[in-house]
Amino acid sequence: MSLRERKAADTKIGLIEALLARIDERPLSAISVAELCDDVDVSPATFFNYFPTKEALLVYFIQLWSVQMAAVVEAHPKHDPLGAVEALFRATAEQHARNPGVMAEIVALQARTDLELGPPPTDAELRRAFPEQPAVLEAARDAGLEALVPPLLERAVALGELPGDAPLPAIFGAVASIFFGTAIVGRKVPKKERVAMMPELYTRQLRWLWTAVRRGGAS
């Protein structure tokens, strides 16, 4: 790995870390590029060399998260696809507990615009972002929620965990609603309570959904 690749990774992940340090206290619109650059000791010109806007930096965070979530799904036993969905959501809950502000900004960004993804994270960037999670290097680089969850639902039908006539697009819509809606609810919960509450809240809602589908409630 070249020195240039390592420096680029340090800069991009450093900017993400600077953003996460502020976004729980202030919205993205109130955080300046200049202050993010000051934290990483780079110029605004360097920032815009990597990210055309602050929103693009947030999209890059989403891409990093997606790779991490793909690794979570890949590590889960293949015979338990609904459990893999729940594991993905528990990992999301942990991220939410650490940085509820960034999750709220992601929901807002997706509500007002179609995301335009930049280049996928490189190995150097993933090593810098997840030094204790080597499995992310083998995960899919473009696997967001829409890529990860539908194959798991299809496998759940094939294994008999969900009915054969289960309306999968509608079920995915419900899963996505749980994903984004719970992030908004959790934003209002004090941090100490949020850490314990969010994984349980996600898991309970998903299991209620699985039960409703099995009983024909999602038809």
Which pTM was predicted? Answer: 0.86
| Residues 6 or more apart in contact with residue 74 via CB below 8 angstroms | 135, 138, 139
Whether residue 7 lies inside any domain: the answer is no
Whether residue 1 lies inside any domain: the answer is no
CA atoms within 13 A on the CB side of 40: 25
| Residues 6 or more apart in contact with residue 173 via CB below 8 angstroms | none
Number of domains composing the chain: 1
Which residues span the domain enclosing 94?
Answer: 54-214
180 closest CA partner among 172, 170, 168, 190: 172
Task: Give pLDDT, residue 181.
Answer: 84
Whether residue 104 lies inside any domain: the answer is yes
Task: Give pLDDT, residue 218.
Answer: 52
Whether residue 37 lies inside any domain: the answer is no
Task: Give pLDDT, residue 31.
Answer: 94
Q: What does the alpha-carbon distance between residue 27 and residue 24 come to, in Å, rounded to a whole number?
A: 7
Whether residue 86 lies inside any domain: the answer is yes
Whether residue 24 lies inside any domain: the answer is no
Task: Give pLDDT, residue 191.
Answer: 67
The two tokens of residue 192 are 């100490």
Q: What CATH number is given to the structural domain containing 86? A: 1.10.357
Whether residue 115 lies inside any domain: the answer is yes
Mean pLDDT by 10 residues, the chain (219 residues): 88 95 88 95 95 92 90 92 95 80 82 79 91 83 87 96 94 92 73 75 93 79
Task: Give pLDDT, residue 83.
Answer: 96
Q: What does the alpha-carbon distance between residue 84 and residue 80 come to, in Å, rounded to a whole number?
A: 6
Task: Find out whether 202 and 93 touch, Cβ atoms under 8 Å.
Answer: yes
